Amino acid sequence: MQGKQKVDGFYFGSVIPKPKDVRLYFFPMYTHKKQLHGKMSPELSKFLKGKSCFHIKHLTPELEKEIGTMIDNAVKIYQKDNLLAS
């Protein structure tokens, strides 16, 4: 399910600009919490609201790199679990 709509496949993530921040809805944080959550810096952890949504209010080069690494790791995890094509 994506909201109230049933969709084929697996949801990975999306980015939604808002007036006060940018939202990163990142489903691997929900489905593979143990593999991803422990690797986050305290700064990135502050932006996590709920189980899989980041409200990013400012972006430093370090945070940008960390988010990129987190996404790369999640792609590899999903590929390993046959949720994404290689």
Element (H, E) at 68: helix 61-80
With tokens 């590899």, the residue in question is 76
The two structure tokens encoding residue 59? 């972006």
> CA 85 to CA 54: how far, in whole Å?
25
pLDDT tens string for the chain (86 positions)? 666 877 777 789 999 999 999 999 999 998 898 888 888 999 999 999 989 999 999 999 999 999 999 999 999 999 999 888 87
Q: Is 26 helix (H, G, I), strand (E, B) or coil?
A: strand
pTM of structure: 0.84
- Looking at residue 20, its pLDDT comes to 95
